[in-house]
Amino acid sequence: MTPRWVGRWTFGLSVAALAIACYLAVAHYTSPKALACVEGGIVNCTKVTTSSWSSFIGVPVAVLGVIWAAAMVALCRPAAWRSGRRWINTARIAGACVGIVSVIYLVYAELIALHAICLWCTGMHLLVFGLFVLIVLHPAPERVPAHR
């Protein structure tokens, strides 16, 4: 049985991820320099969010983050955890895996390719990592259908 707090925590983490992703997407379309981010040394949000690495197949990574986080909000609602539906659990795990693979790719881009980090992106990465750990370590039990 998955502890009840797991559903609450994953929902909270996904809502926080959605908020950050929306903020980054708005900044992408308005002005990346509008990001509230101290810039100096390795910390340079503008460099990260305006680089060629900030788009994937022509779509801004921030927009992909909004789509991913919105899906995770839906999949991590406490009611979704309690539903016991196999497809929801499978989708939640798949979403967590897509998220962590994306984070690995983006951290590589920041640290190795750009030699700069974005604090907002780092916050998003930590939320995705937390979701991944909770979801993989505590998958929801499947509901056994009643026999007639």
Tell me how many domains the chain contains: 1
Would 132 be classed as within a structural domain? yes
d(CA 113, CA 90): 33
Would 17 be classed as within a structural domain? yes
Torsion over CA: 17, 20, 26, 31 (sign): negative
Yes or no: say if 13 and 61 are a contact pair by the CB < 8 Å rule.
Answer: no
Yes or no: say if 21 and 65 are a contact pair by the CB < 8 Å rule.
Answer: yes
CA angle 142, 90, 76 (to 5 degrees): 85
Domain that holds residue 37: 4-137
Yes or no: say if 11 and 76 are a contact pair by the CB < 8 Å rule.
Answer: yes
The Cβ of residue 103 has, within 10 Å, a number of other Cβ atoms equal to 19
Would 112 be classed as within a structural domain? yes
pLDDT in tens, the chain (148 residues): 778 899 999 999 999 999 999 999 999 988 867 788 877 778 988 899 889 999 999 999 999 999 999 999 999 999 999 888 899 999 999 999 999 999 999 999 999 999 999 999 999 999 999 999 999 998 887 665 655 5
pLDDT in tens, 80-112: 998 888 999 999 999 999 999 999 999 999 999
CATH assignment at residue 105: 1.20.1440.130
Would 144 be classed as within a structural domain? no
Would 148 be classed as within a structural domain? no
